[in-house]
Amino acid sequence: MAASVIRESKRDRLYLMFNYVFLALALIVVLYPVLYIVSASISDPKYVSSGEMWLFPKGLTLKGYGLVFDNPKIWTGYGNTIMYTAIGTLLNLVVTLPAAYALSRTDFVGRKFFMGMFLVTMFFNGGLIPSYLLIKNLGLINSIGALILPVAASVWNIIVARTFFESSIPKELHEAAYIDGCTNLKLFRLIIIPLSAPIIAVMALFYGVNHWNSYFPALIYLNDETKYPLQMVLRQILVLQEMSAETTGAAVSGDMAIAMNNKAEIAALVKYAVIIVSTLPIIAVYPFLQRYFVQGVMIGSVKG
């Protein structure tokens, strides 16, 4: 049997060419900031500040990374962020998965009412001041509870997880488990959870990235610098750099101006190095969860 060959028309080739050009431009737009930050973190800061370094490293130096690793605040922030991310993500999964599974069950009385109440919170909230007063009255100021309890569940993630349970777990499995004498709790713990590895990985990735990048709750609720996450430490570095730049631009004389300018350049070098160091864990974890992430994005899009 001769193999059939599908010939592309001129319109198809033109369309493919347009796609390749568009994707190449999109790749450049996305990749350039990453390459710039990596190059700036290992370049001499005077070339970065003057604009001579715009893509590839110039005046190679690892001084920025040395300053980062010698700074105890950064290591403390790293440890705090890892702790907040691990505990927060675990709490998110413990809250989100049972809630999503319960809402996916058609025999759950009041499921539409509870789903409606969840949806209301997506559009309305108490605001910053009432939230702060609530956290203060609960005695959670300057504690890890202030960072993870208010974000213990995301309604959007509950909806995504609920869609997974509805479309991927057959009802016949529930019926077979009940015939074998399985209770709802055993069904969820011994059958549903082991079959839900894709959605668990997706939820862990979503929640983990949010916790890792979060700094605003720490800015509002934490007073002790020893409890600051890494993003807050990075924010302090950025603020100090801006203050140094403003001071350098003021009318100061001679040696003081040079000293301030050197301080601003070092702050910029540390800033780029911290960005790389703080991003590496997420970049390292993502390839292992990529296939689950793709499955999570496609949840509910195809049913059969």
* Sign of the dihedral defined by the CA atoms of residues 275, 280, 281, 287, in that order: positive
Q: HSE on the CB side for 4, CA within 13 Å? A: 2
Query: First-to-last CA distance in the chain?
Result: 33
pLDDT one-digit tens code per residue, 130-173: 999 999 999 999 999 999 999 998 999 999 899 888 888 888 88
pLDDT score recorded for residue 303: 47
Cα–Cα dist 285/283, whole Å:
6
* Residue 43 near residue 272, CB atoms below 8 Å: no
pLDDT score recorded for residue 25: 94
Select from 243, 221, 216, 245 the least CA-distant residue to 231.
Answer: 216
* CATH for the 64-297 domain, from 1.20.1740.10, 1.10.530.10, 3.30.1360.120, 1.10.3720.10: 1.10.3720.10
The structure tokens 């100021």 sit at 141
Q: What is the mean pLDDT of the chain?
A: 83
Outline where 105-195 has alpha helix (H).
Answer: 111-123, 128-137, 145-148, 155-168, 171-179, 184-186
pLDDT one-digit tens code per residue, 86-126: 999 999 999 999 999 999 988 888 888 999 999 898 888 88
Write down the domain spans for the chain: 64-297
Q: What burial class does residue 135 get, using C-beta atoms within 10 Å of its C-beta: 0-12 exposed, 13-18 middle, 19+ buried? A: buried
Give the chain's largest Cα–Cα span.
Answer: 87
**Buried b or exposed e, range 92-123, using 16+ CB within 10 angstroms:** bbeebbbbbbbbbbeeeeeeeeebeebeeeee
Select from 85, 66, 84, 79 the least CA-distant residue to 226.
Answer: 79
SS3 (DSSP) at 8: coil
pTM of the model: 0.79
Q: HSE on the CB side for 54, CA within 13 Å? A: 3
Mean predicted confidence (pLDDT) in 35-43: 88
Structure tokens at 94: 């413990």
pLDDT score recorded for residue 46: 81
Cα–Cα dist 258/255, whole Å:
5
Distance of CA 177 to the CA centre of its chain: 37
Mean predicted confidence (pLDDT) in 234-248: 66
